[in-house]
């Protein structure tokens, strides 16, 4: 019973891993990909969140491209609130803000990196009818993801492949196009301003959510939990067993494959071209 209890808790943590700060980090990565595809003037070659119509002018003059907050709103999906079991409500984008100039125009992208985007999502504010402001209630824009709105044909079943392998391929294609356009001359030459605006996705901060939990601290807490009847040494043994078993599950393997693909994509961008 003790082991199964810990396994259940571990499974719940893994199941919620795409939310919170990790979900916010992933959206920063997706938006970097979305912006990098603006190297393509042919709309048919752009594949990320193609249904997102917003108020921003794209890097090469494309109209109705989404700002970051418009992009997050496009990817919103209702998410269960664990404490109540109820579903969250979609933020009112007309009253929601991140306190940044990212939504003003394309030039602000240069000074608004992925880490700031992540933190912006985690600290959404909303304007109240009485003139005051407040934090946007959980989950805001860092809950579950509308996968179909991110990539065509995306579902919960193929999510990890879509984010991993296919997003890596999107970076390769964008980089190839960037290299081609950069070699052009005259009126077709890519402007220095545009080169500066291309986001470097290698700066995306995955951060704390991807660190392995503190096993020693967890064992200490379990040993102090009344009713479990565990010593710290026994808790450490159980946690090690559970962790090893969890690493062999399909869920973890799929997530690791997705991360590998994402790292590959970010390595492509590390030259600063994207």
pLDDT of residue 30: 86
197 touches 107 (CB < 8 A)? yes
Residue 138 lies in a domain: yes
pLDDT of residue 238: 81
pLDDT of residue 212: 44
Low-confidence ranges of the chain (pLDDT < 50): 1-17, 202-212, 265-266, 268-274
pLDDT of residue 28: 83
pLDDT of residue 43: 93
Residue 226 lies in a domain: yes
Strand partners, 154: none
Report the length, in residues, of the chain: 274
pLDDT of residue 252: 59
Query: What count of other Cβ atoms lies within 10 Å of the Cβ of residue 216?
Result: 12
201-251 pLDDT per residue, tens: 544 444 333 344 567 777 888 888 887 788 988 888 887 777 677 667 666
Residue 130 lies in a domain: yes
Residue 134 lies in a domain: yes
- Report the alpha-carbon distance of residue 151 to residue 142 in Å, rounded: 18
Residue 172 lies in a domain: yes
pLDDT of residue 112: 67
Domain region containing 161: 2-269
What is the dihedral sign for C-alpha 61, 64, 70, 72?
negative
Q: State the chain's maximal CA–CA distance in angstroms.
A: 76
pLDDT of residue 6: 32
Residue 261 lies in a domain: yes
For residue 131, the SS3 value is: coil
**3-class SS string, 233-263:** HHHHHHHHHHHHHHHCCHHHHHHHHHHHHHH
Residue 274 lies in a domain: no
Give the number of domains in the chain.
1
């Amino acid at each position: 019973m003790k082991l199964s209890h810990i396994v259940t808790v571990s499974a719940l943590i893994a199941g919620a891993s795409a939310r919170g700060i990790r979900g916010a980090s992933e959206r920063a990565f997706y938006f970097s990909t979305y912006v990098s595809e603006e190297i393509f003037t042919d709309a048919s070659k752009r594949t990320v969140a193609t249904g997102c119509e917003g108020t921003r002018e794209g890097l090469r003059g494309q109209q109705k491209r989404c700002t970051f907050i418009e992009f997050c709103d496009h990817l919103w999906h209702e998410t269960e609130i664990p404490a109540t079991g109820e579903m969250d409500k979609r933020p009112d984008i007309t009253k929601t803000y991140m306190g940044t100039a990212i939504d003003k125009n394309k030039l602000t992208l240069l000074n608004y990196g992925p880490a700031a985007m992540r933190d912006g999502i985690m600290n959404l504010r909303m304007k109240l009818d009485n003139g005051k402001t407040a934090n946007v209630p959980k989950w805001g824009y860092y809950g579950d993801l509308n996968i179909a709105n991110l990539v065509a044909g995306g579902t919960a079943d193929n999510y990890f492949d879509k984010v991993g392998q296919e997003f890596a391929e999107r970076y390769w294609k964008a980089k190839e196009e960037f290299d081609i356009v950069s070699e052009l001359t005259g009126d077709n030459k890519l402007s220095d301003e545009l080169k500066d605006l291309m986001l470097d996705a290698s700066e995306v901060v995955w951060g704390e959510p991807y660190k392995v939990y503190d096993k020693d601290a967890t064992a200490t807490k379990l040993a102090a939990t009344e009713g479990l009847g565990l010593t710290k040494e026994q808790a450490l043994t159980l946690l090690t067993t559970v962790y090893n078993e969890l690493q062999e599950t399909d869920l973890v393997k799929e997530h690791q494959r997705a991360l590998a693909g994402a790292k590959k994509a970010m390595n492509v961008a590390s030259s600063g071209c994207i």
